[in-house]
Amino acid sequence: MIREGPLCLSQRWPWLDHYRPREAREFEDCRTVADVPPNLDRAAVAGVLRALVDRHEALRSSVRIGPGDEPIQRVHPADVVVPAVLDDPEEHPETLVHGEATPRPEALSGQADVGVMTNFFRDARHVLDLSRPPAHLAIVERRGRPVKVLVSVDHIVADAWAGEVIIAELRELLDAAAQGRAPDLPEPSVQPIDLALRERDDDAADAPARAYAEEQLRRLPATLFPDSAPGTTRTSVQVDLQSPAVALALALLSRRLRAPAPVISRLAFSACLSMATGFADIGVEIQSANRFGRDQAGLVASRVQPMFATAAIDLAEPLAALVAREARSAVAALRRSEGDHLARLALRVRAEHDRGLRFYAIPEFNYFRAPGTSTGQPEPDEVRAAAKASVFDVHPVVDWYDRFRFQSGIFDASGTYLTVLASERIMDADRAQAFLRAYEQILVSACEAEEPLARVAAEAGLLPPRRPAHWIRTEHGWADPQVVRDLLATCPEVASCAVFADGDRLLAHVVRAADNVRESDVHTSLLGRLPDSPAAVAPARYALYDRAPADPDRPSAWAALGVQREGDGRAVTARAPRTPGERLLAATLERHGLAAPALDACYAAAGGELWRVPAILTELADLGHDGLDVRDFLSLDRLADLAARLS
């Protein structure tokens, strides 16, 4: 070992992801293939890989759970990462797609061996051992000569940007070795441990980010799509747009409006959301790799940190006015997002519990720009001409997306690749295509004229939402009171119920199934059912009764009965464990910082810290209880329900 220290804040999220089942992990590995120059032998290529690993401590660091349940990364000598040597007797027809070696379909037909590259990337993705370095390297030889270098790096080390650093450095090192010269590479400006120590030295650094995140989570609108179809159809649609015009428009507008391109792009996206949902206040979850300091440009570590932001949209004004009004706060939001995402994940779950809303309803916005991409200094006529080259592609998606996702990535100077991913119960293919077209046109038209956002979106085919029958507009989104009632009726704590609208709030009248049922029992039980029902939000208040009136469809009939208990259900209180499973879980939680937990609340709402979850899971597994994983502690399931699953 050379040295050890904490993970930097942005590494903690992918570290936590290791404690999910492999098929449920959120993060993909960074994978690439590089050609070996013909004059290099195996020893020379191994030397190149050794130099790459030596440059970046993250490639040769293991991770363990240290004192106080904190993750600790341990830097090892470069020789602990030994590249595999793979013999490929034949050249298999493989292609590289988005950095991943993938066999063409025709290569699989009647062929038992689909190629060493495919096997390598498949096997490397299943390595879950954090006690070894996260870089998996291989040299592919054909007829005794190295022809390819394969690299697979865990996301705890490399996000899209760090992956670009690794790829660029690998190719420069190979070229330099082949040409017999010194590589043209600067020394890495900062290593992950150094960044982590800097983050922890400045205790106030994360305070603004955490305070801002909490403020946003408490008031962030859900922007639910009111024309979503009822039911639980698990089908999704993907609409792709290749748009050189968007890349040029963002470059022009960024210069003219004196605002960062990601901010302008997010505000145009928010304007489309306002048109599609009917809400003026738009909440967006943003995925952004924030590398504002120059010393982080060459950092090899995961730096993708989601944050939440709102925008007040006036569709009667042009994009320039929206940017002038909102850009400053949007920039501040992006800069404040460099904090501990695990703390914000816990805040998110607590806000879901308090607000009675699942945040899967919040659209996700990504802005990815490839390093080194430049669009020059375009003029309006260039942007207008480029719009004629836009290409749409619509197709179904095998994986089901439970919310509306939008991705923007400038991969090269020829254009911007845009994707909308949406469950068809939220937005069908035609409406998703209109959404992308409106986004493009808002940016393109702003280069020449100041037109109202509503007019531009409508001309692109994105029209205001239709209000489905029986739906109401609540304080957090659109909802169907009948769906809420039906969902509430499935809770075991509820014998019967009725739900009524009171302005923009829902009130629930509940006949409890037992005398000891409280409002918090009903609320937490309902929260666990929200993910399967896009038309439902939790009521603002619950009134509990011992019996139902003769006419349960009239609010006045319930009022005449007399309420036994009433409240918002958000309060959580500790109670003594009642079962062996509850006693086991409560004792384990107490050993890891959560004394006297509220067993009728979810882990985060009970005060649990997410960075302690791996230590909790490890201890439970050592005791012979391995039925839980990270998802259970990120959910709204009650601790009592988790305890019931412990054998």
Q: What is the pLDDT of residues 551-568, one digit of tens each?
A: 999 999 998 898 888 999
**C-alpha span between 276 and 278 (Å, rounded):** 6
Q: What is the DSSP letter of 253?
A: H
For residue 142 the two structure tokens come to 């054909």
Residue 304 lies in a domain: no
- Per DSSP, 490 falls in state T
Instruction: Please answer whether residues 499 and 507 qualify as being in contact, where contact means their C-beta atoms are separated by less than 8 angstroms.
Output: yes
The pLDDT of residue 370 is above 50: yes
CATH number of the structural domain spanning residue 545: 3.30.300.30
Look up the pTM and report it.
0.78
Residues 500 and 617 in one domain: no
Query: What is the Cα–Cα distance from 516 to 525, expressed in whole angstroms?
Result: 15
> Which of 273-277, 533-537, 564-568, 580-584 shows the highest mean pLDDT?
580-584
Q: What is the DSSP letter of 259?
A: S
Is residue 166 within 8 A of residue 69, CB to CB? The reply is no
SS3 state at 631 = helix
- The answer to whether residues 629 and 20 touch, using CB atoms and an 8 Å cutoff, is yes
Q: Under a CB-based contact definition with an 8 Å cutoff, are residues 399 and 421 in contact?
A: no
Rounded Cα distance between 576 and 353, Å, is 22
Is residue 192 domain-shared with residue 340, that is, in the same domain? no
Whether residue 223 lies inside any domain: the answer is: yes
pLDDT (0 to 100) of residue 297? 61
Q: How many domains does the chain have?
A: 4
Name the helix (H) or strand (E) containing 157: none
CATH number of the domain that residue 129 is part of: 3.30.559.10
Same domain as 109, residue 253 = no
Domain boundary (179, 198, 217) is at 198
Residue 420's pLDDT band (cuts 50, 70, 90): confident
Q: In the chain, what are the helix, strand and coil shares in percent, each to the nearest 5?
A: 40, 20, 40
Q: Is the predicted pLDDT of residue 353 greater than 50, yes or no?
A: yes
**Does residue 413 sit in the same domain as residue 527?**
no
Mean pLDDT highest for which of 22-31, 417-426, 435-444? Answer: 435-444
Whether 495 and 587 map to the same domain: the answer is no
Asked whether the predicted pLDDT for residue 202 surpasses 70, the reply is no
Indicate whether 323 belongs to any domain: yes
* Separation of alpha carbons 499 and 246, rounded Å: 46
Burial 315-351 (b: 16+ CB within 10 A, else e): bebbbbebbeebbeebeebbebbbbbbbbbbbbbbbb
Question: 198: Cβ–Cβ under 8 A, 6 or more apart, which residues?
Answer: none
Q: Establish if 547 belongs to a structural domain.
A: yes
Asked which of 198, 218, 246 is the last residue of a domain, the reply is 198
Q: Give the model's pLDDT for residue 97.
A: 35
516 and 590 inside one domain:
no
Numbers of helices and strands, H then E, in the chain: 21, 22
Residue 206 contacts residue 9 (beta carbons within 8 Å): yes
In a domain, 331, yes or no: yes
Q: Yes or no: say if 71 and 12 are a contact pair by the CB < 8 Å rule.
A: yes
User: What is the C-alpha separation between 32 and 170, in angstroms, rounded?
Assistant: 10
Does a structural domain hold residue 476? no
C-alpha 416/C-alpha 624 separation (Å) is 51
Distance CA 409, CA 523 (A): 40
Does position 599 have pLDDT exceeding 60, yes or no? yes
Enclosing H/E stretch for 168: helix 160-179
Query: At a CB cut-off of 8 Å and minimum separation 6, what does 216 contact?
Result: 283, 307, 308, 309, 310, 333
What tens digit of pLDDT does each residue of 103-149 get?
Answer: 333 332 333 335 788 888 887 666 667 888 888 999 999 989 999 99
Q: Would residue 298 count as lying in a domain? A: no
Same domain, 447 and 500: no
**Range list of H helices, 308-427:** 319-336, 341-355, 380-386
Are 194 and 218 part of one and the same domain? no
Q: Nearest-CA neighbor of 460 among 254, 609, 241?
A: 241
Are 495 and 437 in the same domain?
Answer: no
Q: Which of 539, 567, 595 is the last residue of a domain?
A: 567
**Domain that residue 116 falls in:** 3-198
Is 173 in contact with 185 (CB distance < 8 Å)?
A: yes
Instruction: Tell me the two tokens of residue 4.
Output: 């050890």
> Bigger pLDDT: 314 or 247?
314
Q: How far apart are CA 177 and CA 40, in angstroms?
A: 8
pLDDT band of residue 193 (cuts 50, 70, 90) is: very high
Same domain, 428 and 452: yes
On whether both 173 and 214 belong to a single domain, the answer is no
CATH classification at residue 383: 3.30.559.30
Q: Indicate whether 373 and 338 sit together in one domain.
A: yes
- Sequence-ordered list of residues with C-beta below 8 angstroms from that of 351, at least 6 positions apart, any chain: 214, 217, 218, 220, 359
Residue among 25, 1, 4, 156 at smallest CA distance from 630: 25
Q: Would 532 be classed as within a structural domain?
A: yes
